[in-house]
Amino acid sequence: MLTALLITLREGLEAALVVAVVLSFLDRTGDKSRSRFVWMGAGGAISTSVAAGALLFLALGELSHEVGEVFELAVTLLAVAVLTYMILWMRSHGGEVKSGLERRTRKAVSAASPWALAGLAFAAVGREGLETVLFLFASISVEGAAATILGGAAGFGLAAAAGVALYRGSSRLNLRAFFGVTGILLIVFAAGIVCRELAGAGELGLPAALSAPVWNTSSWLSDESGAGAVLKTMFGYQAAPSPVQISGYLSYVAAMTWLYLRPPARGRLAAAHE
């Protein structure tokens, strides 16, 4: 539930920010009559994302067990790749999201076509929606369908409330700080997915020394229920991890943490000249 809430809160806030910024820009420029095209584009993107999610799960249900496992693995790895790219992109551009949206809105308005605004909203919200579908698909195998739906609904609700507050000007959310904190949490979540998918390393023909458990803490902290299940969901805890899982988890966390926390390129260049 917590993972789904975090995912939908972050992605939902990005989508809500798109709508809030575009509507605020139209208000300031006296083009409020065009706001319905923004809602049309956003609504179309949401509908498309819901349909894509339904098709994804229906397709999985129609496949045989063996093919279904391969399909699920492929989608999960794609989710990790997209999540990794998104984390690093937001690390560099999180503080410029609002200004970039305003620039694109200005271009859409200058195009003298209200459908350009609809297209802007559709593209921006649709991207967040499709990313959310991938991430929730990966989350369901860890948290279960019920917890994922409940957490996802709560995250979207909070994101919608934040979007309304941003639009009305009653909130001054520090986007760079928000994306910075959630980025760190998502790095750990993505590492947990990598660790979980490596659980079947033994089936790939690897030596037993690489696929056998290094330890087993199930007797006092099982990863199937209670606190252990929460740790598994949020931080990728495994009661009986193999060397492959441990190395995969630590390698991902180490590499991503270094990439995420290192100074920006301009900062490194300035430091080099000092």
Is 274 inside any structural domain?
no
Q: Could you list the residue range(s) of the whole structural domain that residue 18 is in?
A: 2-265
- Where is pLDDT greater, at 169 or 10? 10
**What mean pLDDT is reported for the chain?**
80
**pLDDT above 70 (res 266):** no
pLDDT at residue 142, rounded to an integer: 65
pLDDT at residue 48, rounded to an integer: 94
pLDDT at residue 10, rounded to an integer: 82
pLDDT at residue 200, rounded to an integer: 65
- Cα–Cα distance measured from residue 43 to residue 154, given in angstroms and rounded to the nearest whole number: 19
- Where is pLDDT greater, at 161 or 141? 161
Is 113 inside any structural domain?
yes
**pLDDT above 90 (res 249):** yes
Q: How confident is residue 265, by pLDDT bands cut at 50, 70 and 90? A: low
- Helices (H), ranges, the chain: 2-29, 35-62, 65-93, 97-110, 114-143, 145-168, 175-197, 208-211, 226-235, 243-261, 265-273
- Cα–Cα distance measured from residue 14 to residue 8, given in angstroms and rounded to the nearest whole number: 10
Is 190 inside any structural domain?
yes
Angle at which helices 175-197 and 226-235 cross, to 10° = 110
Q: What is the pLDDT of residues 198-241, one digit of tens each?
A: 876 555 566 766 778 899 999 889 888 778 877 887 777 889 99
User: Is-contact 219 246, C-beta < 8 A?
Assistant: no
Residue 231 backbone class (left: φ over 0; alpha: ψ -120 to 50; beta: rest): alpha
The domain total for the chain is: 1
Percent of the chain at pLDDT exceeding 70 = 82
Is 196 inside any structural domain?
yes
Assessment of whether the complete model's pTM goes beyond 0.85: no
- Cα–Cα distance measured from residue 40 to residue 23, given in angstroms and rounded to the nearest whole number: 12
Q: What is the pLDDT of residues 17-60, one digit of tens each?
A: 888 888 888 888 777 888 899 999 999 999 999 999 888 888 87
**pLDDT above 80 (res 115):** yes
Is 72 inside any structural domain?
yes
Is 273 inside any structural domain?
no
Q: How confident is residue 95, by pLDDT bands cut at 50, 70 and 90? A: low
Is 9 inside any structural domain?
yes
Is 270 inside any structural domain?
no
Report long-range pairs for 211-216 (Cβ below 8 Å, ≥24 apart): 211/242, 211/243, 211/244, 212/242, 212/243, 213/240, 213/241, 213/242, 214/241, 214/242, 214/243, 214/246, 215/240, 215/241, 216/240
